[in-house]
Amino acid sequence: MKSARELLGEKIKDYREGSGLSVLDLVSKTGDQQVNRTFVYDIEAGRKNFTVDHWEKLLRALGVPPEKALSGFKSSDIPKGAEDLYRMLKIIVESGDDDLILGVRVNLDAVADKALRLRKQPPNQPTPVSSRRARS
């Protein structure tokens, strides 16, 4: 079963190819210095852990509203065990409440960052003391 990252990356690739844009065209349309060719290729291939802000920026550059991109998922595309997360995110996006959406973005970014740090940490290794203090 595909991960959420792979599914979201495939959406970007499908929309980009459907619009006839090259990866370089898409990079140019974002106007973001952090978005480069490798970044987009890695997102499309499901290799890059990216923020919701980046995903939305790519969608906007493609002229696709985020709600349209999210509505295109079939329940069978959602990884087992993540259905409730998908449902909650959809409700939040559909609410149109910019403050709520921003809050979710900030929290998702923090969680994704922590997941990356934990993934890079060797198994059975305790969390560094500095990280424990930051949570207090």
Q: 127 vs 80, which has greater pLDDT?
A: 80
- Mean pLDDT over residues 121-133, rounded? 55
- Mean pLDDT over residues 128-135, rounded? 50
Residues 34-83 have pLDDT tens digits of: 899 999 999 999 998 888 899 899 999 999 988 888 876 665 666 777 77
Q: Judging by beta carbons within 10 Å of its beta carbon (0-12, 13-18, 19+), is residue 118 exposed, middle or buried?
A: exposed
Q: Is the pLDDT of residue 128 over 60?
A: no
Q: What percent of the chain shows pLDDT beyond 90?
A: 27
- Mean pLDDT over residues 11-37, rounded? 92
* Domain 4-122, CATH class in plain words: mainly alpha
Question: What phi and psi, each to the nearest 5 degrees, are found at residue 85?
Answer: -65, -45
Domain spans of the chain, in order of start: 4-122
Query: In terms of pTM, does the model score above 0.75?
Result: no
Q: Judging by beta carbons within 10 Å of its beta carbon (0-12, 13-18, 19+), is residue 115 exposed, middle or buried?
A: exposed
pLDDT (0 to 100) of residue 29: 94
